[in-house]
Structure 1
Amino acid sequence: MTAPTPSPAAPSLAAVAEAVVGQIAAWAARGESAPARLLGPGGEFVEWAHYPQPDAIAPASAWRFFYHAHAARQRPAAEHGHFHIFVPPPAGSAGFSHLAGISVDARGLPLRLFTTNRWVTGEVWQPAPALIARLRRPGLHDAEPSDVARWLDGLLILFADEIAALLLARDRRLAGPSGAADPAR
């Protein structure tokens, strides 16, 4: 009997942070950013439109993301727009579940993290613990454009603890009198 081959070790947080910052620097050197990569040549931006269109979907994992912005009067002054990141629902369900939102400025620098309740995204509800279990091994890396997808994977890893806290706070906020989260709230 042979010993099992060890799985590759996850990169350290320092290595992930270096990759995230390195990607931002590479885009900046070319006059680009994560939003600019999605908007394409000319950078025309239409409020509420999804970028890319259709949403970016990772073939291997079915994780997905898109970028968009609300009307200027409905978003914080520094925010250019935000990414919505989704994971597949539990087995046997169709659709997707919202994992996290990441707001960025016009340079693509992250400003804030957020989550939503079900009615905002039309998602398949998953409680915080089910979503938190997926944060340490994000699955966007093979979506296109791959540089944006890998950068988002890195942000999810770097901010996993903060996103987990947000998801738990979301569930507490949506909890009814029974203490169970009510995604319709």
Structure 2
Amino acid sequence: SYSVLTSPPPPSHTERGGDSVGKKKKMVGNKSINELTMEDLIEAGLNLEEAKTLFKAVSDIVGLCGGHPPEVWREVVARRLLRPDQPYSLHQLIYYSIYSAWDSTLRGPPLYWFPSPYESRHTNLGRIMETHGPRLLGKPYKDPISSFSLFQKFSAHNPEVSAPNTCFIITWANG
């Protein structure tokens, strides 16, 4: 499978405000994706032609997705606009610009990886959901991706029924 980022961005780089209760945590970024320029892309390591191509593609995606950060990032990843041979600083610039206004206290950590249906069934959580989801949720259970919120809600409201590890994984996955 292809992954743009090999691990989540470190919290010290993605959040401001520390871990104090009541402080708002937002993604760090000097510019939003709408404010990003070709010069920014060149400073991050692209040549002029690469910058023009990426700038146009990202601008098109922002328009297509209405600026909705997870959808913009998902499309950037799906189109493989960022490659492993490009500077990591470019990956960070695009990611942090997309999520520049993301409030993690309200929305949880920003998404950076979107598993395929096949991949989702083969993660630890996916295997738990495939094994127990149909029995616990009945007909509403579809697959690990589309049923995640339903499975999480069920686990939170029925800890005595859910496997202890399932509750831990679902709580952890949502921050």
Query: Whose relative contact order is higher, 1 or 2, with alpha carbons under 8 Å and at least 6 apart?
Result: 2
The two structures have a TM-score, normalised by structure 1, of: 0.24
The two structures have a TM-score, normalised by structure 2, of: 0.25
Larger Rg: 2
Report the structure, 1 or 2, having the larger strand content. 1
Report the structure, 1 or 2, having the larger helix content. 2
